[in-house]
Amino acid sequence: MKNLKPKIFLCIVGIVILLFTGCKSQPAKASEPLKKNIEQSKPEMETQLDRIKDLRKELAEIRKSKIQDISPVNWEKNDGIILRLLERAEQTLTDTLPKARFDWERSGYTSPEKMIDQAEDYLKTLKEGKDPLPGKFCEPGGTVIDHCIIKKDDLFHLFYIRGKAATHWPEWPTRNFGHATSKDLLNWKIHEPVLQSPEKGWDEYQVWAPHIVEHKGEYYMLYTGVSYPCCQCIGLAKSKDLFNWERIGNGPVITPGDWGIWQKDGAADCRDPSILKVGNTYYCYYTAVRKVKGAVPPHEYCVGISSSKDLIHWKDEGFARLEASLKTPPESPFAIEKAGKFYLFYSSYNHGVVVAVSDHPAKGWKDLPEDKLVIMRGVSASEIIKDGENWYISLISHAQNALHFFEIRKLIWHDDGKISAEVIKY
């Protein structure tokens, strides 16, 4: 999840104040052209609202026809996405969007007209009996962002940040995790969400980025808890069956060491945990930011590292400094061991999903050379799954207007050291 960048936010507030002051100093007649433009836009707004009404009716008619070539889960996925796009467009046109907590919440969206066009394109494909979003999973009207996969018996369990389509996270807080199961990593059955945020506490505002491992016959989940001031910490929950979860302890189990920039009562980076077991030691990797004395600005983004023998008590192991993500956060770090080497996959804002390598799980991490660095561009939040002799890489793909979907690819290890991802053919 993106950091809040409070300094940028304060700058934006200052610019808005200056602009507002400047407008107030203008003569009253300067507002007349603006008023005229608003009046002229009313017919156009009514036209777009009529389009929304017509598309909703058309979707309702298609819903009755029960298209046979699309599975119920994929039908509901597309139905929900189309409705959310139309709802967002309508709210924007009528100025009825929910009140924003942060200024940047309104960024990243197209115009209402283009949003309606997007919904209409999906609807057109749906009418043809095709899935407009093939291979992409989300709940109806929802999104999938940071996630994890664990296999129990012959069933894959997917846990994920359970967002709302066409919204950013402050508009619709993600206060529990989605849960779905599959036998083939493609067709998913949606279950009840898990681990609801408490009314009060260090993770009262939201929960992000789960990661689960099995330990002594039980399942342990590390996850990011977010307080209302947006302080991020890593907490722990436990389950016997992957359906019923309980928190362990009354607070977080991991926060950055003295090297980190972190505060309990304000916005702070400590998120996206993942776990690697090496021998009898568990290592946790997470997104953090560290102090850099004398630098401008006086910080760098990094991957924090902690270790534990029991998943409950954690020791700070410092951080990994990754050249591809010093100025932007290295999101969703995920480490694996293969043939005596350690690989750290993470999301770089500039490159997409990239990989670093080391001979030790807690030190010596270096990004792969430029010709082997990038695994996939334009996607994020990848995790690696090994099932027998097969390797897979999950990803979050993105579409316009804050749409995010879970997908899976086959991971290919090439003899020259390059790693790539291929679409799975079923």
How does pLDDT run along the chain (426 residues), one tens digit per residue? 444 343 333 332 232 222 222 332 333 333 344 344 445 578 889 999 999 999 999 999 998 876 667 888 999 999 999 999 999 999 999 999 999 999 999 999 999 999 999 999 999 999 998 999 999 999 999 999 999 999 999 999 999 999 999 999 999 999 999 999 999 999 999 999 999 999 999 999 999 999 999 999 999 999 999 999 999 999 999 999 999 999 999 999 999 999 999 999 999 999 999 999 999 999 999 999 999 998 888 999 999 999 999 999 999 999 999 999 999 999 999 999 999 999 999 999 999 999 999 999 999 999 999 999 999 999 999 999 999 999 999 999 999 999 999 999 999 999 999 999 999 876
What is the rounded distance in angstroms from the CA atom of residue 140 to the CA atom of residue 72? Answer: 11
Give residue for tokens 């977010």.
Answer: 226
- Evaluate whether residue 95 is within a structural domain: yes
- Residue 342's CATH number: 2.115.10.20
* Same domain as 116, residue 156: no
* Same domain as 223, residue 108: no
* Same domain as 201, residue 68: no
* Same domain as 169, residue 86: no
Give residue for tokens 């879970």.
Answer: 406
* Nearest to 368, CA basis, from 351, 384, 382: 351
Give residue for tokens 């002594």.
Answer: 216
* Same domain as 209, residue 175: yes
- Evaluate whether residue 27 is within a structural domain: no
The full length of the chain comes to 426
**Cβ 314 vs Cβ 284: under 8 Å:** yes
* Same domain as 256, residue 285: yes
* Same domain as 169, residue 93: no
- Compute the half-sphere exposure of residue 311: CA atoms within 13 Å on the CB side of its CA: 23
- Evaluate whether residue 137 is within a structural domain: no
* Same domain as 155, residue 107: no
* Same domain as 341, residue 220: yes
What is the rounded distance in angstroms from the CA atom of residue 275 to the CA atom of residue 347? Answer: 16
Phi-psi region of 136 (alpha: psi -120 to 50; beta: other; left: phi over 0): beta
State the total domains in the chain: 2
122: part of which helix (H) or strand (E)?
helix 112-127
* Same domain as 203, residue 151: yes
* Same domain as 290, residue 151: yes
**Cis peptide leading into residue 297 (ω within 30°):** yes
User: Which of 103, 127, 151 represents a domain boundary (last residue)?
Assistant: 127
What is the rounded distance in angstroms from the CA atom of residue 408 to the CA atom of residue 397? Answer: 10
Q: Which structural domain, as residue segments, surrounds residue 97?
A: 33-127
211 to 148, 150, 253, 256, 361: CA distances (angstroms): 5, 9, 14, 18, 18
